[in-house]
Amino acid sequence: MHKALIACRAGVGSSLMLKIKVNEVIRENNYPIEVEHASLDAVPGFSGDLIITLIDVADELKTKNLPQTIIGISNIVDKNEIKQKLEEIL
């Protein structure tokens, strides 16, 4: 089972919408992923293996050499993009 953190800078708007869409994709495809939602402040204490965020935030996080796989999503309501990116890591 993978553990994913869905985060954005404030943890309110875009990441909440992304969480809803990611959960829909997970349910529709029976992916073994548990999802948490928070702001970027939660990243240092997150012990899971995936961070799902907006593409610009993902680019920033990738420079920090975090142990998690970083997934950047361009269109937070595009379930096809979300599905494709999740399948790449599963």
The residues carrying an active-site annotation are: 8
Q: What is the 3-state secondary structure (H, E, C) of the chain?
A: CEEEEEEECCCCCHHHHHHHHHHHHHHHHCCCEEEEEEEHHHHHHCCCCEEEEEHHHHHHHHCCCCCCEEEEECCCCCHHHHHHHHHHHC
